[in-house]
């Protein structure tokens, strides 16, 4: 009996040694249209199947369908061509739908390009700015989600090895979502526009790295990446000022490989001084110190001491991200105007997407790319 127990323990140890235990969910819950102030109506095209509140197949012959928020409930209407007549199909506290075709469910939202989604769509009523709105959740198989991230985040002509690097980062990030909480579809997390842009080559490259994760000193890292560092990334400690979190794997590295990015060169934005002071409660941000990458390290706003990241978020949300796309910025003040000079795009920490593509063009593998931008890290 003792020999049997010993044999069982040896087998278990071999399995654990050979293959890390992963905890990513089978499905990922994505909150769609996260960056929108409110979603009162969606238009559906293509075939779908209603799961709740009744089971029903919907064909789109001669009509389009809209899902609308109505006083705490959700309604589905058939709208004939020209919008001259509408027929109520069903109404309930929520509507659950799934794709019935091979191309996913096509959803159109005013002001945004149509997107196709795999898996299940759950629509509930919500309120935004005091008005009826829709809360839209996409429950998508994890592989389809990663395919969608790679296709949404990166241009189609980016090198395969740079896309593999991003796939490993996304898979590593998903290890931090064991509780099935929903994540957003905007760049606050990762840009996700569904399956419409996914090509077969994206599926192949993601499948080839699906079991790989990024580690630092034996622990999974919470990976950060951005579009363009414009010459050098920054230390995570300097940019974010974490409270107790270990970001020692986020070290600044030189990067001359993102020169092909449209955000590499300086961008100058001139804005009204009063607008900037409104954003910061009557004060103007003053850069007291910079890090080695040229990003603000210490910023005084009135009596507050803000991090570069906090200041950048306020500027971007208040002025628009096109005004200050990257965290390497300088602020020059005149009597009536504020001049903001910035370069790069995104927070500037971790992997530089355009730099990764440049390294891939030099023949670097996705492993070499990740180990370059995350010094001391290893893929397992």
- 234-258 pLDDT, tens digit per residue, is 999 888 877 667 788 899 999 999 9
8 Å CB contact between 347 and 229 = no
pLDDT, mean of residues 15-34:
69
Of the chain, the percentage scoring pLDDT greater than 70 comes to 89
Distance of alpha carbon 82 from alpha carbon 111, whole angstroms: 19
Question: Would you say the pTM of this structure is higher than 0.85?
Answer: yes
Q: Inform me whether the pLDDT recorded for 8 exceeds 70.
A: no
pLDDT, mean of residues 25-44:
87
Query: CB 308: neighbour CB atoms within 10 A?
Result: 25
Task: Give CA angle at 239 (233, 242), nearest 5°.
Answer: 130
Phi, psi of 311 (to 5 degrees): -65, -45
Q: Which tokens belong to 45?
A: 């095209």
Question: For 89-128, what is each residue's pLDDT tens digit?
Answer: 888 899 998 887 777 888 888 777 888 999 999 999 888 8
- The predicted pLDDT at position 59 comes to 64
Question: For 305-360, what is each residue's pLDDT tens digit?
Answer: 989 999 999 999 899 889 999 999 999 888 889 999 999 999 999 999 999 999 99
Q: Omega into 53 within 30° of 0, i.e. cis? A: yes
Q: Inform me whether the pLDDT recorded for 70 exceeds 50.
A: yes
Band of pLDDT at residue 3, cut at 50, 70 and 90: very low
The overall average pLDDT reported for the chain is 86
Of the listed ranges 51-55, 60-64, 252-256, the least confidently predicted one is 60-64
Phi, psi of 65 (to 5 degrees): -120, 140
Distance of alpha carbon 41 from alpha carbon 145, whole angstroms: 24
Strand, helix or coil for residue 56: strand
8 Å CB contact between 285 and 311 = yes
Distance of alpha carbon 323 from alpha carbon 312, whole angstroms: 11
Helix axes 353-361, 160-174, angle to 10 degrees: 140
Q: Inform me whether the pLDDT recorded for 11 exceeds 60.
A: no
pLDDT, mean of residues 170-176:
92
């Amino acid at each position: 009996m003792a020999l049997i127990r010993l044999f069982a323990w040896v087998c278990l140890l071999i399995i654990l040694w050979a293959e890390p235990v992963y905890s990513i969910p089978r499905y990922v819950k994505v909150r769609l249209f996260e960056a929108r102030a409110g979603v009162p109506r969606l238009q559906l095209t293509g075939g779908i199947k209603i799961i709740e509140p009744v089971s029903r197949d919907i064909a789109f012959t001669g009509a389009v369908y809209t899902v609308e928020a109505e006083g705490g409930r959700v309604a589905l209407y058939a709208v004939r061509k020209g919008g001259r007549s509408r027929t109520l199909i069903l109404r309930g506290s929520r509507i659950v739908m799934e794709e019935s075709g091979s191309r996913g469910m096509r959803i159109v939202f005013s002001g945004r390009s149509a997107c196709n989604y795999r898996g299940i769509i759950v629509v509930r009523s919500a309120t935004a700015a005091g008005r009826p709105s829709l809360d839209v959740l996409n429950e998508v198989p994890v592989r389809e989600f990663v395919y969608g991230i790679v296709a949404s985040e990166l241009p189609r002509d980016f090198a395969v090895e740079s896309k593999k690097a991003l796939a490993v980062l996304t898979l590593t990030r998903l290890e931090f979502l064991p509780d099935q909480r929903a994540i957003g579809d905007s760049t606050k997390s990762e840009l996700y526009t569904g399956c419409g842009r996914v090509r077969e080559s994206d599926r192949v490259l993601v499948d080839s790295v699906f079991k790989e994760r990024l580690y630092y000193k034996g622990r999974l890292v919470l990976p950060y990446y951005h579009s363009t560092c414009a010459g050098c990334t920054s230390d995570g400690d300097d940019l974010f000022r974490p409270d107790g979190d270990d970001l020692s794997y986020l070290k600044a590295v030189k990067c001359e490989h993102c020169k092909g990015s449209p955000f590499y060169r300086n961008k100058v934005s001139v804005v009204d001084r009063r607008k900037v002071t409104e954003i910061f409660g009557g004060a103007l941000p003053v850069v007291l110190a910079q890090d080695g990458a040229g990003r603000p390290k210490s910023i005084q706003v009135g009596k507050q001491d803000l991090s570069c990241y906090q200041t950048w978020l306020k500027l971007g949300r208040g002025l628009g991200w096109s005004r200050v796309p990257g965290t390497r910025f300088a602020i020059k003040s005149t009597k009536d105007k504020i001049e903001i000079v910035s370069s790069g795009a995104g927070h500037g920490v971790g992997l530089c997407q355009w730099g990764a593509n440049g390294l891939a063009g030099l023949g670097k593998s996705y492993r070499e790319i990740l180990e370059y931008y995350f010094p001391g890290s290893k893929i397992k």
